[in-house]
Structure 1
Amino acid sequence: MRVALHTRVRADRVAAYEAAHREVPEELTAAIRAAGVTSWTIWRSGTDLFHLLECADYAGLLAALERLPVNITWQARMAELLDVVHDYTADGAGAALPVVWEL
């Protein structure tokens, strides 16, 4: 499944956010892949962040990562950098930006 998400970085934390993503822990990327993600790309426009990920099961992905110490640490780090930490829910409701058009 393809999932598009939106988050927002704090204006004064853009450089720190980008630096953090140059150093995503290998343990975390391995856990994300093990949970069924085949790709995840983040684009930034100003402070708006747009994520596109492909995975087997988005709700299952969130459940698999929820209690992992490396993810808990990462989420705490992101919470310090983001204005909008999540605009999605664990059950997938409200998870995806709505598709308006597709070719």
Structure 2
Amino acid sequence: MRIALHTRVRSDRIEEYEAAHQHVPPALTAAIRAAGVSSWTIWRSGCELFHLLECEDYSRLLAGLKDLPVNIAWQGRMGELLDVRHDYSAEGVAAGLPEVWNL
């Protein structure tokens, strides 16, 4: 399944956000893959961040990562940099952007 998400980086933290993503912890990327993600891409336009995930089951992904220490640490770091965060709660399953058109 494809999931599109929107988050927002703080305008004064863009460089830090991009630098952090040059060094995503290998334990986190391994956990993301183990939770069924085959790809995750993030694009930035100004402060707006757009994510596209290819995963087996988005609710399973969130449940698998929500309480994982490496993800908690990463989300804590991202929380310092973002105005709008990725929601790992049960309600976050519905946070995906609605698809309007697809070719």
TM-score calculated relative to the size of structure 2? 0.94
Q: How many pairs does the alignment contain?
A: 102
- Return closer, same or farther for 1:99/1:48 CA change in 2, 3 Å cut-off: same
Q: How does 1:1-103 map to 2 (within 5 A)?
A: 1-86=1-86, 89-91=89-91, 92-93=93-94, 95-103=95-103
Q: Structure 1, unaligned stretches of length 5 or more?
A: none
Structure 1 residues 22-81: Cα deviation after superposition (integer angstroms, max 9, x where no partner)? 000000000000000000000000000000000000010010011111000000000000
Give the match's secondary structure for 2:90: coil
Shift of 1:96: 1.5
Q: Tell me the distance in 1 between the aligned counterparts of 2:24 and 2:6.
A: 19
Q: Tell me the distance in 2 between the aligned counterparts of 1:42 and 1:4.
A: 10
Aligned-CA RMSD value = 1.3
Structure 1 or 2: more helix by fraction? 2
Q: Structure 2, unaligned stretches of length 5 or more?
A: none
- Return closer, same or farther for 1:38/1:26 CA change in 2, 3 Å cut-off: same
- Return closer, same or farther for 1:44/1:19 CA change in 2, 3 Å cut-off: same
Shift of 1:87: 5.8
Identity %: 73
